[in-house]
Amino acid sequence: MKVNNENYRAIWIEDQTVCMIEQNKLPFEFAVHKCKNVEETCFAIKTMITRGAGSIGAAGGYGMLQVILNSKDGNLEKNLIAAKKQIDSTRPTAVNLSYATQRVLNAAKTSREFAISEAHTVADECAEHGRLIGEHGNKLIKDGFSIETHCNAGWLALVDYGSALAPIYAAHESKKNIFVYVDETRPRSQGARLTAWELNQEGVPHAIIPDNAGAHYMSHGKIDMMIVGADRIAANGDAANKIGTLEKAIAAKYYGIPFYVAAPSSTIDLNTLTGKNIVIEERGEEEVLYFTGQDKKNELHEIRIASPGSGAKNPAFDVTPAELITGIITEQGIIAPNVESIRKMFINDL
C-alpha cells in the first residue's frame, strides 16, 4: 500500500535487520523501526511496534531468519527451538506467530537455505492472501454500503492489503460508493489511530465513532454490514479478535446485520477445538489508565485519564461464537463458520 504516494509493506527485512512501520507512533508520525536481532524483534512484537495477526506472523518468521543467519550449522536446530519458544510467548493469542515459526523450524530440518526461503515465503503469502481476501470480500459489498469495522485489520496488520479492510479497499478501487464507520477501539485506539490513518491514505470516506456507538448506528439503519479481523479462529468457527468485537457481533445479530470475519487460513487453528480453548492475552493496566495523544501544538503527551489510585483489567481479546458470524472471508473464498466448512477448506488445500 502507499504512504505519501510511496509503496510500503508493514514489515520487511534488509540483510539481517527486520524493518517495520512503527505503529505506536501513528498517526502522528510515520517512522520505520529497525530490529537488529531476534531479541529486538521479540520486543517489537510484545510492545506492539508491529501488530496484527499477519504482520506479527511475518515478524516471527523473520525473527527465526535472524537466528539462522547468526547460527553455526551445528547449533542451528537447537537455537531455532529456543527462538521459537521466545517468539511464540510474545503474543500468545495470535496463532500466526506459532504458524510462522513452526514453518521455518520445519524447513530448517531440510536445509538452511530452505529455512531462509521459507521465512520470506511466509511474509509474501500473507500479503497475497490479503489481496485475495479483498477480491472475495468485495463481492459482498454493494454500491452505497456503509460498513463498520473494529480495531485495525488493514495492511498494517497483514503485511499488505489487509484482512477486514482489504474488501473495503477493493470496493473503493472498483469505484463503489462506500462509507466506513471506524470503531475507535479502546484502550489502544487502533481504529481511531491506525484504521482511520490507513483510510485517509487511500481516500476512503469514513468517520471515527466511539466504541459504544455501534449499536446506536445499527438501530438507526446506518450500518449495512460489519467486517472484522481475527487473531485466532478455532476449528468450530469461534473467532478471537480485539476486545469489544463480541458485543458488536451481538448487536449485529439483534439488528439482522451481516457480521463477517476476514482472515487468512493461517489464522485458523485446527488444534484449538472451540473458542473456550483460546488463551486470552492480559496486557498491562497502564494501557487503560493512560493515553498518549497530540496537543494543539502538535506535541505528544502521555496523560492519566482514569481515577488516581484505581487499578484496571486489560484483556486484549474476546471470542465471538460461530453462531454470531455470518461467514469467514479467506483467501480461498467465503466459508461458513462451522467444523465441516473449515475442514473441507483444509482438505482441498492439501
Contact residues for 179 (Cβ-Cβ < 8 A; gap 6+): 145, 146, 147, 205, 206, 207
CA 338, CA 256: separation in Å to the nearest integer?
20
Annotated active-site residue 224? The verdict is no
Contact residues for 82 (Cβ-Cβ < 8 A; gap 6+): none
DSSP strand pairing (333-335 vs 327-330)? antiparallel
DSSP strand pairing (259-262 vs 179-183)? unpaired
Do residues 284 and 314 make contact, with C-beta atoms less than 8 angstroms apart?
A: yes
Give the DSSP H/E element, type plus range, for residue 318.
strand 317-320
Q: Which residue of the set 88, 224, 231, 269 is catalytic?
A: 231
CA 115, CA 137: separation in Å to the nearest integer?
32
Sign for the pseudo-dihedral over CA of 275, 271, 262, 333? negative
Which residues sit opposite 268 in a β-bridge?
A: 233
Active-site positions?
A: 231
